[in-house]
Amino acid sequence: MVPKYVIVGNSAGGIGAAEAIREVDSEGSICIISDEPFPVYSRPLISEFLAGERTLDGMLYRPRDFYQQNAIEALLGQKVAGIDFPGARVVLEGSESLPWERLLLATGGTPIVPNIAGRDKEGVFTFTTLEDARRMERFLEGKPRVVVIGGGLIGMSLASALVKRGVGVVMVELLDRVLGAVLDEPASRLVEGVLREAGIELITGQAVREITGKSFEEGRVGGVVLQDGRQLSCGLVVIAIGGAPRTELVKNSPVKVNRGIVVDRHMATSYPHVYACGDVAEGYDFVYGTGRLTPIWPNAYLGGRIAGYNMAGKQTLYPGGTAANSFKYFGYPLVSAGMVNPQDGCEVLVSRQDRSYRKVVLKDDHIVGLVFAGDIQQAGVAFGLMREGVNVRPFKDALVRDDFGLTFIPQGLRRAGLGVSPREMVP
Amino acid sequence: MKRVHIREEVCVTCRRCEVYCTVEHSLSRDIIKAYKKERPRLLARVRVQERGALSVPVLCRHCDEPSCVFACLTGALRKDPETGAVVLNREKCVGCWTCVLFCPHGAITPDPQRHIIAKCDLCSHLPVPACVANCPNEALIFAEEGVGA
Ligand SMILES: Cc1cc2nc3c(=O)[nH]c(=O)nc-3n(C[C@H](O)[C@H](O)[C@H](O)COP(=O)(O)OP(=O)(O)OC[C@H]3O[C@@H](n4cnc5c(N)ncnc54)[C@H](O)[C@@H]3O)c2cc1C
Ligand code: SF4
Ligand code: SF4
């Protein structure tokens, strides 16, 4: 059977596309390929897995019979080795190949591993797949101290899991604060306070220079040496300094790549009938008005959905996504979206109390960034106004009030949004 | 689909919708037990927002293009293909609050004590949602779009 749709990547983006295709085309055959052997699981939940709170079954993003129910052929545990663009075939490892009429690249990201001496030792990990979490398990048995390199989102997610396992954690961050890419300074400081309260030893403004071996067992991790010469002993090192788009399949190909795969508002690449979405693609970022890497789950799913519609012939525009994150680590709720460290010419509204903090960044009376920490219940309203591109001038001061909510939004807008009863409904 | 329509002009902030929502989703379905015994106390899935004379009961709109469903990290939220209701699988929710950020109506409430969200399920086990049935002023109406009450 010739698959009409071939999807590389069985995660948020790939599944979003497959579901959209099935909404429009119930017949065309779909084949999803992934080198991971599992049915689609929620990648962010690998930390819950590591913490012992979820098993694979509890992490499944769709029921096990999803593929069967949707007549999708899933080639799991199979790697795509290359793509023959003129021949329109994907080449699987082992030299089998598969033709496509429409191809989606939803290959996600790959962890960045810097060139640190000793990084090949046993007990050095990255943390982005369920397999990583599984392999790490074994090393945690004796409750060794763990050095986490990187104070970003993945480092945070990992640290929370390790704390739940009762393991001592040292977090080493190169910048002078954690989550520098997604938070502003006051919010980073709040998170740092929460980390320290949870017992995590935090070292900022430092990098790991070398990973050293154990005495009598040089091949296994025994400690790290920091740039300033400080030595820390540990039994496990996890490198979590960030990810890069996994573009290996389109190296030296006719598909245009910038940092990630370049796509238009239909999620189409520069090559006919080839689409891309998720962490590997530079989808439209409505805050910056251009294609950018916005590697979060919701953007991968929505971008995939739009790609799927277009692949199946239903012309649909991607509304765009931006960096938008939600944290619950260590019981402290915090969300951020868009431009949190404003450029020149932006207006910044801030309110702050004890453990709660709100900041909204405006440009020409439009919201371009926000941070809500502590009480996040109404953050969605602000983020909605941001996505819709609403001019907030008449009520902007309310955005950072404690009691901010729909009541501050002009009646017409509020009613339209809520689908409030049309006039003729009033008895 | 049938939705709960909001008529803010006749809402008087009595908050009976909140009370009956809480009771309906409690274990005992008894008002005294639900409020005085069950701990942690359930959160209402409809919340009346008040400012001056304005009073707006806010609850999930069961959107046609539900951004909460698209955003949910775990697959806990989905739109029921039959009823159109946006429903939560409590087993799957991990309380990551991503949907809270993505709901443009602020209709999802984090329940940090239970590590899951609280959101309207349209009382799918009842003919009419409890909030609607107990609103004394018909500020909440359960009806198809564009159909008179
Ligand atoms: C620990 C952790 C925590 C996270 N927490 C959050 C969070 O709280 N909120 C949030 O929004 N996001 C979070 N993320 C990010 C989120 O997981 C990603 O944005 C999302 O998974 C991207 O989906 P995707 O479909 O683009 O790609 P991925 O999920 O990366 O999946 C791509 C798949 O394609 C496969 N693949 C790639 N190349 C090939 C090939 N050549 N052949 C076969 N298969 C291939 C890969 O093996 C992989 O299975 C987290 C990520 C991690 C690792
Ligand atoms: S929770 Fe919000 S986004 Fe989701 S369906 Fe309800 S109103 Fe729409
Ligand atoms: S809080 Fe629950 S329902 Fe909301 S996105 Fe997270 S897992 Fe999904």
A42-52 pLDDT, tens per residue?
A: 999 999 999 99
Cα angle A337, A342, A344; round to 5 = 150
Q: Is the ipTM of this complex over 0.90?
A: yes
Residue A87, judged by CB atoms within 10 A of its CB (0-12, 13-18, 19+), counts as exposed
Position A165 scores a pLDDT of: 95
Is-contact B49 B75, C-beta < 8 A? Answer: no
| Residue A50, H or E segment | helix A46-50
Contacts of A417 in chain B (CB under 8 A): 104-105
Position A415 scores a pLDDT of: 80
Q: Most A CBs within 10 Å: which of B9, B60, B98, B111, as the mutation test of the A interface? A: B98
Would you give the DSSP letter of residue A117? B
Nearest-Cα residue of chain A relative to residue B55: A407
Q: Most A CBs within 10 Å: which of B50, B56, B77, B119, as the mutation test of the A interface? A: B56
Q: Which residues face A105 on adjacent strands?
A: A8, A276
Specify the 3-state DSSP secondary structure of A364. Answer: coil
Distance CA B101, CA A384 (A): 9
Evaluate if residue A377 carries a pLDDT over 60.
yes
Evaluate if residue A424 carries a pLDDT over 80.
no
pLDDT in tens, B70-105: 999 999 999 999 999 999 999 999 999 999 999 999
pLDDT in tens, A316-366: 999 999 999 999 888 899 999 999 999 889 999 999 988 789 999 999 999
Q: Does B71 sit within 8 Å of A333, measured CB to CB? A: no
Question: Looking at the complex, does the CB of residue B12 fall below 8 Å from at least one CB of chain A?
Answer: no
Question: Looking at the complex, does the CB of residue B53 fall below 8 Å from at least one CB of chain A?
Answer: no
pLDDT confidence of B15, banded at 50, 70, 90? very high
Contacts of B43 in chain A (CB under 8 A): none
Tokens coding B77: 């939220």
Across B7-37, b (16+ Cβ under 10 Å) vs e yields bbeebeeebbbbbbbbbbbbeeeeeeebeee
Evaluate if residue A192 carries a pLDDT over 60.
yes
Tokens coding A144: 């060794």
Would you give the DSSP letter of residue A406? G
- How many other β-carbons are positioned within 10 Å of the β-carbon of residue A358? 25
Residue B46, judged by CB atoms within 10 A of its CB (0-12, 13-18, 19+), counts as buried
Specify the length of chain A in residues.
427
Q: Does A421 sit within 8 Å of B73, measured CB to CB? A: no
Q: Which of A172, A165, A163, A173 is nearest to A197 (CA)?
A: A163
Position B116 scores a pLDDT of: 96
Position B149 scores a pLDDT of: 35
Distance CA A355, CA A350 (A): 14
Residue nearest to atom 6 of ligand 2 (CA): B60
Distance CA A58, CA A353 (A): 37
Specify the 3-state DSSP secondary structure of A341. Answer: coil
Specify the 3-state DSSP secondary structure of A258. Answer: coil
Q: Does A421 sit within 8 Å of B7, measured CB to CB? A: yes
Q: CA of B77, closest CA in chain A: separation in Å?
A: 10
Position A419 scores a pLDDT of: 62
pLDDT in tens, A257-310: 999 999 999 999 999 999 999 999 999 999 999 999 999 999 999 999 999 999
Nearest-Cα residue of chain B relative to residue A382: B104
pLDDT in tens, B48-68: 999 999 999 999 999 999 999
Position B148 scores a pLDDT of: 41
Is-contact A112 A241, C-beta < 8 A? Answer: yes
Distance CA A10, CA A184 (A): 33
Q: Which ligand is nearest to the CA of B102?
A: 2
B9 backbone dihedrals φ, ψ, rounded to 5°: -65, -20
The percentage of residues in chain A with a pLDDT greater than 90, rounded to a whole number, is 91
Strands A356-363 and B77-79, sheet pairing: unpaired
Evaluate if residue A400 carries a pLDDT over 60.
yes
Position A45 scores a pLDDT of: 97
User: What is the separation of C-alpha A336 from the centre of its chain, rounded to a whole number of angstroms?
Assistant: 13
Is residue B77 within 6 Å of ligand 3 at its C-beta? yes
Is-contact A10 A76, C-beta < 8 A? Answer: yes
- Smallest Cβ–Cβ distance between A333 and the set B51, B108, B110 belongs to B110
pLDDT confidence of A373, banded at 50, 70, 90? very high
Q: Which of A53, A17, A61 is nearest to A36 (CA)?
A: A61
Q: Does A425 sit within 8 Å of B143, measured CB to CB? A: yes
Pocket test for ligand 3, best of B99, B116, B119 (most atoms within 8 A of CB): B99
Is residue B74 within 6 Å of ligand 3 at its C-beta? yes
Position B147 scores a pLDDT of: 44
Q: Does A426 sit within 8 Å of B7, measured CB to CB? A: yes
pLDDT in tens, A223-259: 999 999 999 999 999 999 999 999 999 999 999 999 9
Is-contact B100 B80, C-beta < 8 A? Answer: no
Distance CA A123, CA A133 (A): 12
Evaluate if residue A421 carries a pLDDT over 60.
no
Atom of ligand 1 nearest to the CA of A14: 25
Position A343 scores a pLDDT of: 83
Distance CA A309, CA A315 (A): 7
Is residue B31 within 6 Å of ligand 3 at its C-beta? no
Distance B107 CA to ligand 2 centre (A): 6
Nearest-Cα residue of chain A relative to residue B71: A298
Average pLDDT over all residues of chain A: 95
Atom of ligand 3 nearest to the CA of B74: 7
Evaluate if residue A188 carries a pLDDT over 90.
yes
Specify the 3-state DSSP secondary structure of B105. Answer: coil
pLDDT confidence of A96, banded at 50, 70, 90? very high
Rounded to the nearest 10 degrees, how much is the dihedral formed by the CA atoms of A196, A198, A201, A204?
-50
Distance CA A338, CA A322 (A): 6
pLDDT confidence of B146, banded at 50, 70, 90? low
Q: Which of B95, B105, B70, B97 is nearest to A297 (CA)?
A: B70
